[in-house]
Amino acid sequence: MNRSLSELEVRATLPLSRAPQGLREKCVAIARKKSPSAAFNLAASAAMLSGLSQIESLCIAKAARWLSVIRRDHGQEAFDRVAASLDHAHGNTATGTTEERKNEQ
pLDDT computed for residue 89 by the predictor: 62
State how far the Cα of 24 lies from the Cα of 41, in Å rounded to an integer.
Answer: 15
Q: What is the pTM of this model?
A: 0.81
pLDDT digits (tens, 9 = 90+) for 17-73: 999 999 999 999 999 999 999 999 999 999 999 999 999 999 999 999 999 999 999
> Please, what's the b/e burial string for 11-41 (b: 16 or more CB within 10 A of its CB; e: otherwise)?
bbbebbbbbbeebbebbbbbbeebebeebbb
CA 98 from chain centre, in angstroms, equals 17
Helix (H, G, I), strand (E, B) or coil at 88: coil
Predicted local confidence at residue 2, as pLDDT: 83
Question: Which of the four pLDDT bands, split at 50, 70 and 90, describes residue 1?
Answer: low
